[in-house]
Structure 1
Amino acid sequence: MTNSRTAPRGRLRPALAATVTALTVLGLASVPVGTAHAQEKRLKSWGNNRAGQLGDGTWTDFRTTATTVLGLTSAEVVKIAAGGAGPANGHGLALLTDRTVQSWGSNGSGQLGDGSVFSHNAPGQVVNLSNATDVAAGGAHSLALLADQTVVSWGRNNYGQLGNGTNADSSVPVRVEGLNKVIAIAAGLNHSLALREDGTVWAWGYNINGQLGDGTSASRTVPSPVSNLTGVTRIAAGCNHNLALVGPPSSATKPTSGNAVKAWGYNATGQLGDNSTISRYSPVDTQGIWLGGVSQIAAGCNHSLAVTDSDNRLKAWGQNTSGQVGDGTTDYRITPVQVPGLSGIQLVSGGREHTIALLGDNTVRSWGNNGSGQLGNGTTTDSSTPVTTLTALTGVDKIAAPVGGDFSLAN
């Protein structure tokens, strides 16, 4: 990865550029008090920052409590995504109300989409992109769903994860071939997923462990359908495994027992939840009794998560080296177990070896690996049970963690 300690021209909004440059040199980068938006709610980040993935204008190694992502007010941020392919790298994406996308952090493969391969510690605009409706971030590549229900991608493409029929990296958005009527996207370490409005899932990129779900181990540079999978309403991608919710999502007002979680791909640590450690090249049923049904699914690198029942409780399974399953142990779980002491969960996201959850009171809890402060509780001590994240925000409604990285975002 090439690391640039100064942002190139055009990366920052003009009004902030001079201030950020000056403050960065002094090691004091922050939103200056005198600016018009100084008191507005802002996007926050914490954890590892060696590639500028916290977006706060510094290269400080890590932050154990929330810092401010420069230049982005909470009101203008519609969706956020976090990517990363190792403990010390990562990148962030923010979809804004004007349907443009801002990016920051690692950029050695062009995953920031600004036409360069220089890493940046503050947000700047993805080029040639003005009609996005969703974003997803993988190991070193990024995806955007467009208003016309097609998908574009940029960044690393060594396994075809950009889906444009080549293996060439791209530092600007390129069209994913052969996809339309897409309603959701997800990005793994080196592969990508799209959910179409007909309930089918399409996958492309790296496939050595069956993560494309087409019954083979052949990587693909264009999307192909996941075998024997229909009626899908939610998708999630881990490093090398995937989850799909089949059937309508449950909710407090409309609980359902008619949905199921399917999984496929790498399974050495039980992340598929099928009571085995055998990798699967096509979808299998995740075991467990989903009382009241499943409302949400999420995947960390090698662990998996599902929000279930009318109380919005959380179940987790898979790798648990650092306590990322959250059950008070470091035992791997090959079937789902309940995370104790949590209810009212609104959102959940999985990182490399940590998990973050947004509760109904708009506060954040986190657990697992904390070597870079990615739990945000002011320490670097791992926790196998949920701890309170110090976000310095009220009314959080968005969270993100990178599938292969060690930082977190909240808005």
Structure 2
Amino acid sequence: MTNFRTTRLCSAIAAALTVLGLVAMPVGSAQAQEKRLKAWGNNRSGQLGDGTWTDFRTSATSVTGLTSAEVTKIAAGGAGPTNGHGLALLTDHTVLSWGANTYGQLGDGTVFGHNTPGLVAGLGDARDVAAGGSHSLALLGDQTVVAWGHNNYGQLGNGTNADSSVPVRVEGLNKVIAIAAGSEHSLALREDGTVWAWGYNINGQLGDGTSASRNVPSQVVNLTGVSKIVAGCNHNLALIGPASGGGTKPTSGNSIKAWGYNATGQLGDNSTINRYTPVDTQGIWLGGVSQIAAGCNHSMAVTDSDNRLKAWGQNTSGQIGDGTTDYRITPVPVTGIKGVQAVAGGREHTIALLGDNTVRSWGANGSGQLGNGTTDPSAVPVTTLTPLVGVDKVAAPVGGDFSLAN
């Protein structure tokens, strides 16, 4: 661990000196050619991880000290336009974090934010990560879950409502294969296809038929056969039936279930009524659904043989991507893109990775979160200003205004 910390410190110092112009990086050097984890958008909490507190960046900057090759998963959290934190799961199964840390959401044993990546305490066998508003989750190799950060509604799932600046065990969960984090609630998918939820529940986001918040996991009712889960600020989606990946192709038999807050139609059930148990998202999913994603109050699904994208819910800033700012209570096509490989939603923006390795974004852009060199919103997809070579994953915080790509 000492060598790891020393290496990180040296990398951070070198990067800082380079920014200051005190170290010149040869153009042809190996380090100059290495692919880097990238970030753009709001940075007032240091959530871009580039060693600065610059208000915002309208084009991609490199997260300090991290090459793309050593990052296997990324997650972005945030509880407001200027608040946010990032997580990166490394190939050695440790987790790095950066950004806001008021409630211990960086997991380093402190409540002090930092603008470069640092180690989450005590994690050496992490397999996945998720970031909520001000809390974080990790799935471990033994298929249990740990959590850290804000816990006012029990979103850490450890039977208390006390914040924790280091990872704590989520009670009563095993055989977990996927995790997701909303603004103030958390989800876990078990290998038997059931979904478990804990935390804030005033809008029914725990899916147990009540509005009572819980500090330990409870099973989402009437929901089985789930293959994927995602969380928005206060709503959730579950993909029922096989999805793409793992050698299984999507089929026309799969479907989407949704529950929780629905004031802007983010459940896609042709209503604006909150749902305390899962309901069917409407839509004809030709060729099946391969991916699902959620922003704060909007939702997305990748569908059909061309990997096209549909979206629904809040559209105040054009985050649906259909060229309008009209709310959509059932899924509609996103304008002009196909071949979608990955998609993520922020507070009021959406980011997608296409098959040609270009990254497109749309929606709110006051902090440059679309990455196209402007702060102008767009109701249709725009291309990031900085070419992002070799990208295979994207992330955005459900409650924040920045983006990550690796």
Choose which of 184, 188, 191 in structure 2 pairs with 1:194: 188
What residue identity is the alignment partner of 2:322? D
1:330 aligns with 2:325: yes
Aligned match for 1:358, one of 334, 353, 357: 353
- Deviation of 1:65 after TM superposition, in Å, equals 0.4
Aligned 8 A contact 1:226 1:282 in 2: yes
Distance 1:250 1:36, change over 3 A: closer
Question: Partners of 1:113 and 1:23 in 2: how far apart?
Answer: 28
Q: Which consecutive residues of structure 2, in runs of 5 or more, have no partner in the other structure? A: none
Question: Is the Cα–Cα contact under 8 Å of residues 155 and 199 in structure 2 kept in the other structure?
Answer: yes
- Where does residue 6 of structure 1 map in the other structure? none
After superposition, residues 278-293 of structure 1 pair within 5 angstroms as 278-293=273-288
Report what 2:212 is aligned to: 218
**What is the CA distance between 1:37 and its match in structure 2?**
2.6
Show the counterpart of 1:94: 88
User: Which residue of the partner structure matches residue 368 of structure 1?
Assistant: 363
Identity between Structure 1 and Structure 2 (%): 80
- Conservation of the 8 A alpha-carbon contact between 1:160 and 1:206: yes
Displacement of 1:341 in angstroms is: 1.1
| Aligned: 1:170 with 2:169 | no
Mapped to 2, the partners of 1:30 and 1:358 lie a distance apart of 33
Among 52, 68, 82, the alignment partner of 1:74 is 68
Alignment-derived partner of residue 295 in structure 1: 290
In the alignment, is the contact (CA less than 8 A) between 1:328 and 1:384 conserved in 2? yes
Q: Could you give the per-residue CA deviations for residues 226-246 of structure 1, whole angstroms, max 9, x where no partner exists?
A: 000000000000000000000
Q: CA deviation at 1:393?
A: 2.1
The separation in 1 between residues aligned to 2:133 and 2:163, in whole angstroms, is 13
Kindly tell me: are residues 338 and 21 of structure 1, through their superposed partners in 2, closer, same or farther at Cα, counting changes over 3 Å? closer
Equivalent pairs, count: 400
Aligned residues of 2:12 and 2:65 also touching (Cα < 8 A):
no
Partner residue of 2:258?
Answer: 263
* 2:399 is the counterpart of 1:404: yes
Which SS does the other structure have where 1:38 is aligned?
helix
Matched residue of 1:301: which SS?
Answer: coil
Are residues 1:345 and 2:350 paired? no
Match for residue 388 of structure 2 among 383, 390, 393: 393
- Secondary structure of the structure 2 residue equivalent to 1:37: helix
Pick closer, same or farther for the CA change 1:13–1:276 going to 2, 3 Å: same
Secondary structure class of the residue paired with 1:16:
helix
Q: What is aligned with 2:52?
A: 58
Deviation (angstroms), 1:389: 1.2
CA-CA distance at 1:13 after TM superposition: 1.6
Query: Contact conserved, 1:227 with 1:283, CA < 8 A, in 2?
Result: yes
**One-letter identity of the residue aligned with 1:335:** T
SS at match of 1:159: coil
Q: 2-side partners of 1:182 and 1:362: how far apart?
A: 31
Which residue of the partner structure matches residue 207 of structure 1?
201
CA distance in 1, matches of 2:107, 2:193: 29
Equivalent residue letter for 2:196: W
CA distance in 2, matches of 1:351, 1:399: 11
Give the gaps of 5 or more residues in structure 1: 1-9
Deviation of the 1:362 alpha carbon: 1.1
Correspondences of 1:143-158 after superposition (within 5 Å): 143-158=137-152
Pair 1:318-2:313 in alignment: yes
> C-alpha distance in 2, partners of 1:114/1:341?
43
Q: Does 1:185 align with 2:179?
A: yes
Structure 1 residue matching 2:11: 3-state secondary structure: helix
Contact 1:363/1:395, CA 8 A, preserved across alignment? no
Return the offset for 1:36: 6.1
Cα distance per residue 1:288-335 (max 9 Å; x no partner): 111111000000000000000111000000000000000000000000
Give the letter for the 1:199 counterpart: G
Distance 2:277 2:24 in 1: 48
2:344 is aligned with what amino acid? Answer: S
Distance 2:23 2:179 in 1: 32
Checking the alignment, whether the CA contact within 8 Å between 1:12 and 1:123 is kept in structure 2 is: no
Residues 17 and 23 in structure 2, CA contact (< 8 A), matched pair in contact too? no
Q: Distance in 2 between matches of 1:285 and 1:275?
A: 10
Relative distance call for 1:198 and 1:371 in structure 2 (3 A) is same
- State the shift of 1:16 in Å: 2.5
CA distance in 2, matches of 1:406, 1:285: 29
TM-score by length of 1: 0.94
Whole-Å Cα distance in 1 between the matches of residues 217 and 25 of structure 2?
A: 45
Quote the Cα distance in structure 2 between the aligned partners of 1:200 and 1:250: 19
Distance in 2, Cα, partners of 1:254 & 1:174: 36
Give 1:32 deviation, angstroms: 5.1
Q: Which moved more, 1:225-234 or 1:382-391?
A: 382-391
Answer yes or no: is the 8 Å Cα contact 2:12–2:116 preserved in 1: no
CA–CA separation in structure 2 for the residues paired with 1:193 and 1:11: 35
Residue 35 of structure 2 is aligned to residue 41 of structure 1: yes
- Superposed, which structure 2 residues align to 1:131-146 within 5 Å? 131-146=125-140
SS at match of 2:32: coil
Q: Secondary structure at the match of 2:230?
A: strand
